[in-house]
Amino acid sequence: MNWSRGVVLKSDRELAIMRRAGRINALALLAAVEAVRPGATTADLDAAAVEVLRQHKAEPAFLGYPGAYPYPAATTICLNEELVHGIPGPRRLEEGDLVSIDCGATLEGFVGDSAITVGVGKISDEAGRLLEVTLEALMAGIGAMRLGHRTGDVSAAIQRLVETRGFNVVREYTGHGVGRAMHEDPQVPNYGRQGTGMPLRVGMTIALEPMVLAGRPETQVLEDEWTVASLDRRLTAHFEHSVAVTKDGPVVLTALDPVLDAGLGDRYNGYFAGFLQPVKDKGVRSQ
Ligand code: MG
Ligand code: MG
């Protein structure tokens, strides 16, 4: 294993394990998405994800994560104005809600970390646009994960996509290196300047996670000391993939497998699931 300024570069063998962990995480998210319906509780969604982790003998990476108190579940589930770190429980989904599900799976010592936001039934035009922009921001970030770029190029690609569409990115929470630990260096914020930050290198693995707010970018931690919500209580969305930098371009580690998982994911955006190529980010400087 190679270390560089706190960044852990992964070997091909380690990337193969991370791909397996990431696929299981994708299957867990898919199960949770398939449980989304009016009347379901957020605990139901968590249970669906936990069952997949158990079937594949993966450990829930979030359970026990240190904070104000150890994180008590395998997923974080957020509704509407809640952005990240919502604790699943008895709250019931209603038609028109936005629900974001974030999950982490540890397999053979490596973590897959990914998140998705979906609507419950019919959603508002603003909510639909927010989902579209947040997913496109993730794809723009993935497209920038190339040799010759720096972390600031990835951040700038995400920020530009979001802000040109009239929404805001969070400042207090960031994308991050991922590997044996769920949070490794480098931090990759959802805002930044091109040409700044750390040069990308083969074997870097980063969880990119645009957290997008329809209104102001400020957030607030709620009374449970975990859930983060928009301060103005307007809608938010969150998508995340763990992505490797390779000499052949970005590889999404938290995708379904096009062969093994063929036919799955009717309710799972194929673009997000990884069956389609990420968009190329034409706006990012190439060297
Ligand atoms: Mg996550
Ligand atoms: Mg993450």
Reported as a single tens digit per residue, the pLDDT across 122-166 is: 999 999 999 999 999 999 999 999 999 999 999 999 999 999 999
Is 1 within a domain? no
CATH number, domain at 85? Answer: 3.90.230.10
In angstroms, what is the span from residue 178 Cα to ligand 1's centroid? 10
Ligand nearest to C-alpha 206? 2
Distance (Å, whole) CA 147 – CA 70: 37
* 101 sits in which H/E element: strand 98-107
Confidence check: pLDDT of 20 > 50: yes
Q: Write down the pLDDT at residue 159.
A: 98
Closest CA relative to residue 117, chosen from 149, 79, 152: 79
Ligand nearest to C-alpha 100? 1
Q: Write down the pLDDT at residue 285.
A: 42
In angstroms, what is the span from residue 266 Cα to ligand 1's centroid? 22
User: Region 221-235: what's the mean pLDDT?
Assistant: 98
User: Region 158-184: what's the mean pLDDT?
Assistant: 97
In angstroms, what is the span from residue 285 Cα to ligand 2's centroid? 26
Confidence check: pLDDT of 101 > 60: yes
In angstroms, what is the span from residue 66 Cα to ligand 2's centroid? 14
Distance (Å, whole) CA 54 – CA 36: 20
Q: How many domains does the chain have?
A: 1
In angstroms, what is the span from residue 61 Cα to ligand 1's centroid? 10
Is 239 within a domain? yes
Instruction: Read off the pLDDT band of 277 (50, 70, 90).
Output: low
In angstroms, what is the span from residue 103 Cα to ligand 2's centroid? 9
Is 4 within a domain? no
Is 6 within a domain? no
Q: Write down the pLDDT at residue 3.
A: 45
Closest CA relative to residue 32, chosen from 20, 43, 18: 43
Distance (Å, whole) CA 131 – CA 120: 12
Which residues constitute the domain of residue 90? 12-286
Following CA atoms 159, 160, 165, 168 in sequence, which dihedral angle do they give, to the nearest 10 degrees?
20
In angstroms, what is the span from residue 183 Cα to ligand 2's centroid? 7
DSSP, residue by residue, 74-98: SEEEEETTEEE-PPP-SPBP-TT-E
Distance (Å, whole) CA 151 – CA 141: 10
Distance (Å, whole) CA 15 – CA 142: 17
Instruction: Read off the pLDDT band of 218 (50, 70, 90).
Output: very high
Ligand nearest to C-alpha 117? 1
> If you ran DSSP here, which 8-state letter would residue 58 be given?
P
In angstroms, what is the span from residue 115 Cα to ligand 1's centroid? 6
Confidence check: pLDDT of 278 > 60: no
Instruction: Read off the pLDDT band of 5 (50, 70, 90).
Output: low
Ligand nearest to C-alpha 61? 1
Residues with CB under 5 A from ligand 1 (ion): 102, 113, 115, 240
In angstroms, what is the span from residue 239 Cα to ligand 2's centroid? 10
Distance (Å, whole) CA 228 – CA 84: 5
Is 58 within a domain? yes
Strand 7-9 relative to strand 2-4, pairing: antiparallel
Residue 107 tokens, joined: 């397999």
Is 7 within a domain? no
Residues with CB under 5 A from ligand 2 (ion): 113, 207
Confidence check: pLDDT of 48 > 70: yes
pTM over 0.85: yes
